[in-house]
Amino acid sequence: MIQGITDDKGRRIVGMVRFGPIEGGDVFFPGDPETATAVTVSSMRPYDTFPLPEQPSGRNMHLHRVVFPDVGKPLWTFTSPEQLVRAMDMALEAHRELCELGILHRDISPGNIMIRMAINRDASTITEEDLDIKDTQGFLTDFELAEIIPSSETGGTTTATDDAVTGTLSVMASPLLQAIISLRSLSKESQDATVAPIHTQEHDIESFGWVFFFVVYKAAVDFSPTHLGDLRKDLTAEFKELFPGISPTQILQGRLRLKREDANTHMLEYIDHHLKDPNFKDLFAFIRKYVLDPRLPRADTEPNDFDSAILEENDLDAAVFQQPPAPHLTHKLIHSAFVRYLEVTEKTRQARTPGRM
C-alpha cells in the first residue's frame, strides 16, 4: 500500500527501504506447525508494559517477517559521527516526505533506521561494504505500525486516527508516555470511557531525538576501547540511568535525569577525549536542550499539602505554574541541526587538508 501511494505520486523516497521482490510470513513459536502459537504483541510483552488496556479482539498484532532486497547495518555500528548524522538525516527527510503523503510511521526506533550498505557479489560470495562517507544513506524500515492518514486542516499536522498508542517504549515521545501513565491511573470504567492519546508526526519527530541519544550511548558502551576503564563503566551506568526498564513510568523517570546539569557528564567526556569532535558535542547538547528536554514533565508536578492549602486560599490552580507548552517540534529543527553539523565538519576537514582553502 505504501509503495502504491509513493508510486501514484511519482515520489522516489531514497531514505526508506527499497521495495522489490519480497518474501515473508507470520512468525510462530517453536512447535508442531499445526498447533504452534503465533508470536503476537500480547504474547511477547509482560502484562504491566502493555501501553493501553487490552485491545478488542482482532486488534492484537502478529509478528510478520518480511525480507527486502535492501541491506543495511544497525545505526549504533556507525564508523564515525558523520556517518551517523548523514544516515539519520536521510531517514528524517524520508519521514517528512512520507508525512506529506499522509503516511505516519509510528515506530521510529533504533532498529527501524539503518545505514545502507553497498553489496558486492561474485560467483561464490556476497560482501557488504560501507559507502563513501559523503554518499552515506540511511533508510527507514519496518512499516508494520504505519498508518495512512489525512493531514489536519489546522497546522498541517499529521495525526493517527487509530486509538492505540504504538511504538517502541524506550524511545517513545514523552507526552505519549505521560498519557499512558495517566490512563493506567484510572479505573477500568474510566479507561473505557477515555479517548486514547493521538499519535502525531510530532511524536515521531521527538522519537528521532531519543533514537539519536540511544544510539550514541549504545555505540560508546559497546565499542569504546577497553583502555577507557572507569569511563566505560561510568558510561554504561549513565546509559542505564537514562534508559531504564521497560515500563512507561521507569522510562519517564530515567528521562527526568536530563533536568540535571550532570546528566550527560560521562558522555560529554567521552566525546571530548575519545571522539575528539567538538561539533558533535554541540549537536548532542542541542538535541538534549531543544528537542528532548522541553517535552519532559516537571519532576515536581504535584503540589504537596502545604502548597495546596496556599493555592486554594488564593483560588489558584497548580497547573498555571507549570512550564509552558514546548514549541511545535518540526522536521526542520532537527534537520537544520544535522546540516549545521555536517557543514562545520566539512569546513574542519578542508582546513586540515593541505592545499585546500
Q: What percent of the chain has pLDDT over 90?
A: 52
Average pLDDT over residues 205-210: 98
Query: 102-106, 124-128, 224-228, 327-331 — which is least confidently predicted?
Result: 124-128
Whether the pLDDT of residue 50 is over 50: the answer is no
pLDDT of residue 151: 53
- The string of pLDDT tens digits covering residues 141-158 is 999 899 988 654 334 455
Whether the pLDDT of residue 244 is over 90: the answer is yes
Query: 79-93, 162-176, 179-193 — which is least confidently predicted?
Result: 179-193
For the ranges 7-16, 275-284, 315-324, the maximum mean pLDDT occurs at 275-284
Whether the pLDDT of residue 123 is over 80: the answer is no
Instruction: Considering only residues 63 and 87, tell me which one the structure prediction assigns the higher pLDDT.
Output: 87
Average pLDDT over residues 282-302: 88
Looking at every residue in the chain, the average pLDDT score rounds to 85
- The closest alpha carbon to 81, from 112, 119, 115, belongs to 115
- The string of pLDDT tens digits covering residues 325-350 is 778 999 999 999 999 999 999 999 99
